[in-house]
Structure 1
Amino acid sequence: MITAFARTVILYLLIMLGLRLMGKRQIGELEPGELVLTMMLSDLATVPMQDFGIPLLAGVIPILTLLSLSMLLSQISLHNIHFRALVCGTPTILIRCGELQQSAMRKNRYTLDELLEELRGKGFSSIADVKYAILENSGQLSVLPWNDQAPPTAAQLHLQPEDDVTLPVVLIDDGRVLSRRLAACGKDEAWLQNTLRSRHFSSPREVFLMTLDERGTILCIPKEDTP
C-alpha cells in the first residue's frame, strides 16, 4: 500500500511539473505538439502506477525525457522562425477582405458549418460582416470585422473618458493576511489593524476578502458564519 501511494505521488508531481512547464493554457488552446505531449505523459504515468511489476524508473525516465525534449524544442522555436513554423504551424487566413479562402479551408479541413458556427459565437451572422478571419495555431478563430460592423471606440466618438481602471490587490484571503502583498502596497500590520477596526473587525480571521486598489479604495467582505 505504501509503495502504491509513493509511486502515485511521484508520478503525479512529475505530470504536474510537465503541465506547468507547458504554460497556462487550456486543453482547447494547446498546439498539436503540446496536446501530444500531454497525452503521452498521462499514458506513461498510468502504466507504472497500475502495474507494480514495472520499475518506477520505467515511467520516470520517459517522462523526464519527454519534458526535456519539449523544453529543447521550445528553446529552438524561440530562436528559429522556420523551425517554429515547422513544429507549431502558422496561422491561416480563412476570410480575406470579406472573401472566403476556399483552398485554405480545404487544406485545413475546416468546413463551412464550423466557420459559420464560430462566427455566430463571436456575434457575426454573415460572412459579409467580417473582413478577416484567421485560424490560429491553437485552433481558435480570430475575427476582425469591417469598421462599420465593429463597436465604436471612445476615440472614434471623440470622447475622453476618465481612466478609472485599477487593479485591486488581495490583502486578506479567507481570513489569511498576505504579508508580501501588504508590503508591496507600502502598508504594514499596524495600518491593516487600524483599517479593520475602523470597519468594525477585531481580527483578520473575520474577513473573507480584503482588497486595496491603486486609488486607495478598500473592499472588505466579512466572512459568513458557518452553520
Structure 2
Amino acid sequence: MLVILVRTLILYIFVVIALRIMGKRQIGQLQPFELVVTLMLSELAAIPMESPGIPLINGITPILTLIAAQVILSYISLKSDRARAVICGTPSVLIENGKIVESELKRLRYNLSDLLEQLRAKDVPNISDVEFAILETSGQLSVIEKSQKRPVMPEDLNLSTKYEGLPFTLIMDGQVLHKNLKKINLNIEWLYQQLANLGIENPSDVLFACLDTEGKLFYQLKSGKGAKPSKK
C-alpha cells in the first residue's frame, strides 16, 4: 500500500510539472497538439498507478519525452509562422462584412446553430449586428460588432477619464503582504495605524484588505462585518 502511495505521489508531481511547463491556459484555450499532450499525460500516468508491477521509470520516461516534444513544438511555432499554421492551424472567418461565409462553415463542419449559440454567449443575439466573426485556433469565437452597434466609449464623447490601476492587496486571510506594502512605499506601521483608526487591533482579524489607486482602503473582517472603504 505504501509503495502505491509513493508511486502515485511521484507521478502526480511529474504530471503537475508537465502541465505547468505547458503554460497557464484553460482547457478550452489549448491548441490541438497541447490538448493531445494533456490527454496522453493522464493516460501514461494512470498505467503505472494501476499496475504496481510496471517499473516507475516506464511511466516517467514517456512523460518527460512528451514534455520535451511539447516544448520543442511550442518553440518552433513561436519562431515560424508557417510551422505555427501547420501545428496550430489558422483562424477562420465565419462572418465577413456582415455576411455569413457559408463555404467556411461547410469546410469546418460548423453549423448555424453552433454559430448562433456562440454569438449569444458573446451577448450578440442578432447576427445582423456582426461585422466579423472569427473562429480562433483554440475554438473560441471572436466577434467584432458593426461600429454603430458597439457600446459608446468615453473617447467617443471626448470625455477624459481618471487612471484606474490595479488595487494592491495588503491583507489576505489575516496575513500581511509585506511585498505589496513595499511596492507602494508604505510600511507596516502605516498599516497598523490605518487599522487602529478603523477600530481593528490585529491584522489577523481581517479577512481581506486592499488599497486602490485613489488611496481608499477596503477591508472585510473575518466575521463578515465591517466591509467598507475608508479614505487613506
TM-score by length of 1: 0.93
Between 16-25 and 135-144, the greater mean CA deviation after superposition: 16-25
Tell me how far 1:127 sits from its aligned partner. 2.4
Give the residue type in structure 2 aligned to 1:175: G
Contact 2:164–2:213 (CA under 8 A) maintained in structure 1: no
Partner of 1:144: 144
Give the residue type in structure 1 aligned to 2:203: P
Tell me how far 1:175 sits from its aligned partner. 0.6
CA distance in 1 between partners of 2:85 and 2:34 (Å): 14
Structure 1 SS opposite 2:144: strand
Give the residue type in structure 2 aligned to 1:109: R
Partner of 1:42: 42
CA distance in 1 between partners of 2:78 and 2:183 (Å): 33
Between 63-72 and 209-218, the greater mean CA deviation after superposition: 209-218
CA deviation vs aligned residue, 1:95-137 (integer Å, no higher than 9, x gap): 1101111111111111111111111222323322211000001
Partner of 2:210: 211
CA distance in 2 between partners of 1:127 and 1:197 (Å): 56
> Number of paired residues?
224
Q: Does 1:163 align with 2:190?
A: no
Partner of 1:223: 222
Partner of 1:28: 28
Which residues of 2 match residues 51-70 of structure 1 at below 5 A? 51-70=51-70
Between 3-12 and 47-56, the greater mean CA deviation after superposition: 3-12
Between 184-193 and 134-143, the greater mean CA deviation after superposition: 184-193
Give the residue type in structure 2 aligned to 1:9: L
- Runs of 4 or more consecutive aligned structure 1 residues displaced over 6 Å after TM superposition: none
Between 173-182 and 48-57, the greater mean CA deviation after superposition: 173-182
Partner of 1:193: 192
Q: Does 1:122 align with 2:117?
A: no
TM-score by length of 2: 0.91
Contact 1:78–1:84 (CA under 8 A) maintained in structure 2: yes
CA distance in 2 between partners of 1:158 and 1:192 (Å): 39
Q: What is the identity percentage for the equivalent residue pairs of Structure 1 and Structure 2?
A: 43
Between 206-215 and 45-54, the greater mean CA deviation after superposition: 206-215
Structure 2 SS opposite 1:156: helix
Indicate how the Cα distance of structure 1 residues 125 and 83 shifts in structure 2: closer, same or farther if over 3 A, else same: same
Unaligned runs of 5+ in 1: none
Give the residue type in structure 1 aligned to 2:109: R
Contact 1:166–1:215 (CA under 8 A) maintained in structure 2: no
Partner of 1:180: 179
Partner of 2:88: 88
CA distance in 2 between partners of 1:185 and 1:97 (Å): 47
